[in-house]
């Protein structure tokens, strides 16, 4: 009887440690994230499942911590997951274009940061050849799309844009993101499953079951194997 109890206790302790470790890792180190929309095409596609480094932007209070720990500040060009300022319960993923104090201006789709043209052709995707002026007579989804600013990024904030510049809901429309809303930097596509654009949340258990059933039935045919384990740049 004591042997059975001992084995049960060992399994229970191992399971408990695994749960604690997984919870710690998800909270402080790594988080999985699925790309739900086409705002980052062609760099990240709908259905890409990525890993996010949550540790890299962690606070460091001393010079020794900054020297020993693999942390850094957000840089221009980083692909970052953050809480959506207008609905913090939702996570967004975009590319950092502006740092605190930067002046952002877009003229006919060309981005300037502090007066310098941003060389972003290796990751920017322009799906629409039309150029819309900044005009109050245009719908708000077009008003600031191609001509924007100048806008100075407030202290403690960052300016983000999607790589799919003509189809991205980003800082051009709702402003800069507070530093404490930033969750981490995307670093790896670990699996990619071809799917149509989906709602951010599938409501209820029925929706989750429908999603799982769809994945299982098309796993081998719709997995984009060539995208697996690609580094996010």
Question: Catalytic site residue 217?
Answer: no
Contacts of 93 (CB under 8 A, 6+ apart): 33, 35, 39, 40, 44, 50, 79, 80, 81, 82, 186
The whole-number pLDDT of residue 138 equals: 87
| CATH numbers and ranges of domains, the chain | 31-231 (2.10.109.10)
The whole-number pLDDT of residue 60 equals: 46
Tens of pLDDT, residue by residue, the chain (233 residues)? 455 556 666 555 555 554 554 454 555 567 889 998 999 998 999 999 999 988 777 654 445 444 545 567 899 999 999 999 999 999 999 999 999 999 999 999 999 999 999 999 889 999 899 999 988 888 888 889 999 989 999 999 999 999 999 999 999 999 999 999 999 999 999 999 886 555 445 566 666 677 677 667 777 788 899 998 899 98
With 0.85 as the threshold, say if the pTM is over it. Answer: no
The whole-number pLDDT of residue 206 equals: 67
* 163-172 b/e (C-beta count within 10 Å ≥ 16 → b): bbbbbbebbb
Two tokens at 111?
């981005």
Query: Residues 117, 99, 59, CA angle at the centre, nearest 5°?
Result: 150
47: left (phi over 0), alpha (psi -120 to 50) or beta: left
How far apart are alpha carbons 81 and 31 in whole angstroms? 10
Question: Catalytic site residue 94?
Answer: yes
Using only C-alpha atoms, what is the Rg of the chain? 21
Q: Which of 6, 54, 62, 94 is catalytic?
A: 94
The whole-number pLDDT of residue 159 equals: 98
Phi, psi for 180 (deg, rounded to 5): -75, 0
Residues 140 and 125: beta-carbon distance below 8 Å: no
The whole-number pLDDT of residue 79 equals: 96
Q: Which of 2, 34, 39, 141 is catalytic?
A: 39
Contacts of 105 (CB under 8 A, 6+ apart): 111, 112, 148, 149, 150, 151
The whole-number pLDDT of residue 5 equals: 53
Two tokens at 204?
């209820």
The whole-number pLDDT of residue 211 equals: 67
Neighbours of 94 (CB within 10 A): 23
């Amino acid at each position: 009887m004591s042997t059975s109890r001992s084995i049960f206790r060992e399994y229970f302790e191992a399971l408990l440690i695994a749960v604690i470790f997984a919870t710690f890792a998800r909270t402080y180190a790594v988080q999985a994230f699925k790309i739900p929309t086409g705002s980052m095409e062609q760099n990240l596609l709908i259905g890409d499942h990525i890993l996010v480094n949550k540790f890299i932007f962690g606070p460091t209070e001393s010079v020794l911590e900054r020297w020993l720990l693999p942390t850094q500040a957000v840089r221009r060009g980083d692909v970052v997951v953050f809480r959506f300022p207008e609905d913090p319960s939702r996570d967004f993923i975009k590319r950092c274009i502006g740092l605190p104090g930067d002046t952002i201006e877009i003229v006919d789709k060309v981005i300037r940061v502090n007066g310098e043209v941003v060389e972003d052709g290796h990751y920017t995707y322009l799906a629409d050849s039309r150029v819309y002026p900044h005009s109050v007579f245009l719908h708000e989804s077009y008003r600031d799309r191609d001509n924007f600013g100048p806008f100075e990024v407030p202290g403690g904030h960052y300016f983000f844009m999607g790589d799919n510049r003509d189809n991205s809901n980003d800082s051009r429309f709702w402003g800069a993101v507070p530093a404490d809303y930033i969750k981490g930097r995307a670093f790896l596509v670990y699996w990619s499953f071809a799917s149509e654009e989906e709602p951010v949340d599938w409501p209820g258990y029925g929706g989750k079951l429908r999603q799982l059933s769809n994945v299982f039935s098309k796993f081998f045919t719709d997995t984009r194997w060539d995208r697996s384990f690609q580094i996010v740049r």
